[in-house]
Structure 1
């Protein structure tokens, strides 16, 4: 990443890690966070999904939460996700499911985490739905990949994960996971990582992002490209056109609250578009990562604050 944007990202993530800043934001920032959070309750999130579907936009629904301190919390999240899967089916909306491994106990007990996630994936399989296991920071990368491959080995193939372009290991992981038949969501990456683990220059991240997108498209593997970057979106459209890759072979993924008009426009042009819709009360870590991605997100929140 370039020096300015990386300094901004690191600074904001550092500030947001301050306990006083977190306390004040949780107390006063709920209305501002609503820009990026669909609802604090499942019912409100399902209504948002229905509205997006009517615009031709697909959805991935995420119940916010990560970094739990006790396995009892993980059990609560597991039950909420089972309720979430059933809620999607009952509402008749078009939405996948997204969850975080640490939310299910990965940092506390990997086997308990696996059992919790397997219960959700099984529930989704019974409903004909798909579960995306999010990729968190690098200490959890290998464990997350191993978990997804283990689920596939049990015949639960309705599960995939996320690959981050800024990690140096990424191309090797993509080759392995494509061969294993694992559906991947391709992203740049949003966590604070050291130089020995992740590329620090924006140009290097972009080059690697394009490389792993090509690896998918060239092999005819369904490709989920998560980006708000016009340069990336335009490049994918041109690459697909030049190589006669049909629009049903890939999808663009964007976040709720960001570039909603662009999401609707792409959908109206016949592209598959999926919106990542988070809901829940544990919104602070997700919210701060969104603000840290680029100054424009912070400016948008500040403008809303003073209106």
Structure 2
């Protein structure tokens, strides 16, 4: 019989694989394995191209949700590659604006070159802001591992002073987040609150699926809701969503608050929230660099490994 400890060990294994660049390279450079892995990824990813992402985002909008689109990738350590990847984001910005869809563009600062040169990343975000300015498209900085949180928040401080549309993602798991929340509330951008999916030591973060993590999320969410700040409550945890609704009720039905869920996860819950009158958003990723993202999604609920096995069936 599978135990809670078995599931936690499986989740840790998946998260370790997500960060294993050598394993990723071996799988993706072997055609048969790459085909199988891509088949699993399609449950959680829109596809490879900007056009794929716009199509899936349009389907989310047709169901009543706004969309957030991210070109998957992170940890770029080469300036030329960072410039090339930024070009895809600029293409996405133009395409999303022309589509007229209510959407936000999300990105990792390390994807845009922050680990190479902070000014390189800043300039790429400025370019993205300029190309999306005519459309008023929101921009959202995604969360990264705790070892990069200071860098991410320092860059956010600079960007938010120039571009009010830029928002920031905070992880409830991290012990430091209450202080970080006070810091980011000085800026007008949306705060996206997530539990946090990265492999972190307990000295830095609450254990996954713990009562402490749930309490931390609820407390941070309550502070955001009371503040009147624009907030995205990003979780697929139906018990957590139900608790938020029971505590805050109609206060959640404002233009400043939305529920956000990832493509392929929480679809029925998100649709139900929309029908109940809450603002909702579906998060869509695209591109070939989905390895870390997809493995972390499966690790959140290791039972999804069975779904992955089913997805390997070519029929």
TM-score (norm 1): 0.93
Distance of aligned partners of 1:4 and 1:222 in 2 relative to their CA distance in 1, 3 Å threshold: farther
**Secondary structure, aligned partner of 1:37:** coil
The superposition leaves residues 104-155 of structure 1 with CA deviations (integer Å, 9 ceiling, x where unpaired) of 111111121111122112322332111001110011111111111111222x
- Cα distance in 2 for residues equivalent to 1:80 and 1:184: 25
Aligned to 1:295, what secondary structure does the other structure show? coil
* Residue 22 of structure 2 corresponds to residue 19 of structure 1: yes
Match of 2:118 among 110, 120, 131: 110
Secondary structure class of the residue paired with 1:103: coil
Residue 55 of structure 1 aligns with which residue?
A: 63
Alignment of 1:1-307 (within 5 A): 3=5, 5-16=7-18, 17=20, 19-20=22-23, 23-24=26-27, 25-154=33-162, 156-200=163-207, 202-241=210-249, 244-306=251-313
CA distance in 2 between counterparts of 1:118 and 1:244 reads 34
Alignment partner, residue 30 of structure 2: none
With over 3 angstroms needed to count, the CA separation of the structure-2 counterparts of 1:88 and 1:211, relative to structure 1, is same
Q: Is the 8 A contact 2:39 2:311 kept in 1?
A: no
Deviations along 1:226-251, one digit per CA (max 9) or x if unpaired, are: 1000111101111222x745343311
Query: For 1:15 and 1:153, how far apart are their aligned partners in 2?
Result: 37
Q: Structure 1 residue 281: deviation in Å? A: 1.2
Asked if 1 retains the 8 angstrom alpha-carbon contact of 2:164 and 2:187, the reply is: no
Q: Distance in 2 between matches of 1:245 and 1:116?
A: 34
2: CA distance, partners of 1:13 / 1:268: 34
What is the TM-score with the length of structure 2 in the denominator?
Answer: 0.90
Aligned length: 304
CA shift in 2, pair 1:85/1:191, >3 Å: same
- Hey, what's the Cα distance between the residues in 2 that align with 1:187 and 1:77? 25
Q: Is the 8 A contact 2:189 2:230 kept in 1?
A: no
Runs of 4+ in structure 1 over 4 Å off: 2-5
